[in-house]
Structure 1
């Protein structure tokens, strides 16, 4: 290990980091001006010079990098990365053996011991998401580990470290064979069309797997379902396969229509019998109220932050108002599947949004079930922000 920079951690942060907090927060470091090149190795010490941990410099959101080891003697090299990736692959052995699910996460950043990188599996192909230039400097070690440890058809990557956290437009293919797109994968028997070469989004959010299964197996039968912020219609497909009378998918993006039609088609569903609407969700809510439309299930899975010509949505500020609108068009005893991937608040605060929305509308409710991240999205208890997904299945009671 060369070019290691020693950083002093402020007293206010030292205790937390000694307890296992893995993110090197920008505000935690006294001498951050010594950091020059991303990918540089870091040694963290407290004010007295006592060792806290070692990691790497890589700017990600409000962090300067990640702690990789709590031992001053551990060497961060190819063997280190290989050991971490092997354990992660071993932990997902049951997923590799499940013929009904051929898409899942095999490495979840800090939850598997290396913050700043995730790896997803799509029927023999691997997708690596790099979240900083710092972790990208270890690209060769991580890719070599993958190719050594498992059967790899091909590897793709997404570089998510342009300014303001944007995706770096580039050829996403890395090595092996190129996939034929769409790459059809399965999730609990549901088919999804994956495109690893079409920008930041690939076609489905893997962290919602358990929620889609519950919608299909427990909640959709006989219901009229509204899926808002529908993206490629994955929730709508799950609902239709679960016996929904009809689904309505609403998303502002023009591509949502063709992507949703494709997902219905590969699952043997006639998309012409479903409603697929390209529209601002907030405008659609107003339309539904005006037309007195009601649904037996409303699915809310907005992005943490979104901007359209007329609306700006922030989950932390605006989720309560979004729920109020959903409540208005939900039948009595109907369900609202409320979801957020915003990492800045936890489930307790999210439940507060739900309570506030129902109080404002004068309606009553009960939460039937809660979801967080599925088991392949491994987390560490010392980093609560990593457990970002919060989903509540809410019944509007009479």
Structure 2
């Protein structure tokens, strides 16, 4: 099937940008085809092969520009190339969970594959690529022979968000390793598994000395992975704060699987901003504060947006830092440019008249390759600041 695209879209594709937007199409049909398509220009000249489908960003992806046939052999080669590039991770006995295939960064937008100690978690972000799931999972099965495959539906659908595809389910929690630290994971409990694999380098920083001898506060802690990494790395105490009730048993479990006592590792179920006020009233101080909020969250009548509210997190953190301290500021908001993120944070430092220096920064790790020309594909931004109050 041929789909005509506008001249600007053709230029964009030739520059290496694979994301197809609705406005790129000459005709905007409501019903998108569930098949591979050839994108052509107004002269009928071939531009690229890809697909269109319902997804959260854009309406499809370019997959190939050589007119290759979209048969299993093509995807065998695509997956094998990604696996070959991750041999370091596959051979690392201290890390048994990582991103095996990262969508457009590995040549096929709309799908990611995560490796959990021999099991695969396949996430589908587009209705049409999900239509080809049997062929694609068969390719993965043939190349990797995984113990099992579970899929996550991440486009708008009435399908269950998690579904076991093949193989036997592991005894859960499935304990994986990352930089020698154990984490309890659950592969078939909704979208989340218990750990965000893209933060491995930041957690490594904590295990390798950044938290040594420090009092650490982990805000929006989820299952407490940053806290566990900090405790493993010698923190004198950690405090994990999250509003979700499930965070208490989930975080407790993460400490237990590492044999770490809860005596010096507190877990608090509370709204983040309420905890900032509580800590300030009690004169609690933290040497290192990790801020890793969701891009958007709703709590009763309150809403939180990274773009609007991150500055309030920095203000709250400064109130409970001692005279010298560290703030690890993180966001996964793909629509928040790193320059704007950094400017917003540093404006608060200036307003509060504190001295600061950016000691380190992190983007997505090596197992999360991105498209340079597509800024939103490199969504993770982590800035580490050393603060000194005047």
**TM, length-normalised to structure 2:** 0.96
Q: 1:395 to 1:168 in 2, by over 3 A?
A: farther
Aligned to 2:117: 123
- What does residue range 7-156 of structure 1 map to in structure 2 within 5 Å? 7-9=4-6, 11-33=7-29, 36-71=31-66, 73-156=67-150
Contact 2:101–2:112 (CA under 8 A) maintained in structure 1: yes
Deviations 1:109-139 (CA, angstroms, capped at 9, x unpaired)? 0000000000000001000000111110111
Q: How does 1:1-398 map to 2 (within 5 A)?
A: 4-9=1-6, 11-33=7-29, 36-71=31-66, 73-162=67-156, 168-169=159-160, 172-398=163-389
More moved, 50-59 vs 258-267: 50-59
2:324 and 2:386 in contact (8 A); partners too: yes
Give the C-alpha shift of residue 37 in structure 1.
4.3
Contact 1:216-1:241 within 8 A present in 2 as well: yes
Go from structure 1 to structure 2 and tell me whether the alpha carbon gap of 1:64 and 1:76 turns closer, same or farther (over 3 Å shift): same
> Is the 8 Å Cα contact of residues 111 and 379 (structure 1) preserved in structure 2?
yes
For the 8 Å contact 2:212–2:233, the answer to whether it is kept is: yes
Contact 1:337 1:392 in 2 (8 A): yes
SS in 1 for 2:3: strand
The number of aligned residues is 389
Q: Is the 8 A contact 2:215 2:238 kept in 1?
A: yes
Alpha-carbon contact 2:56-2:125 (below 8 Å) kept: no
> Which sections of structure 2, spanning at least 5 residues, go unmatched?
none
User: In structure 2, the residue corresponding to 1:270 is in which secondary structure?
Assistant: coil
**Cα deviation digits, residues 238-277 of structure 1 (max 9, x gap):** 0101111110000011100000000000011012431100
1:168, CA displacement in angstroms?
Answer: 4.5
Mean Cα deviation higher: 178-187 or 353-362: 353-362
Instruction: Spell out, residue by residue over 1:72-124, the C-alpha distance to the aligned partner (whole angstroms, 9 max, x if none).
Output: x2111211111110101111111111000000010000000000000000001
CA distance in structure 2 between the partners assigned to 1:191 and 1:364 by the alignment: 37
How large is the RMSD of aligned CA atoms in angstroms?
A: 1.5
Per-residue deviation, residues 165-204 of structure 1 (Å, max 9, x unmatched): xx95355210012111100000010101110111111000
| Secondary structure, aligned partner of 1:60 | coil
- Runs (4 or more) in structure 1 with deviation over 4 Å come to none
Greater mean alpha carbon deviation, residues 187-196 or residues 379-388: 379-388
State the alpha-carbon separation in 2 of the partners of residues 115 and 147 from structure 1. 20
Deviations 1:200-228 (A, max 9, x none): 11000000000000012131011111100
Inter-partner Cα distance in structure 2 for 1:17 and 1:321: 39
- Tell me the SS of whatever aligns to 1:63: coil
SS at match of 1:231: coil
In 2 relative to 1, CA 48–231 (structure 1 residues): closer, same or farther, beyond 3 Å? same
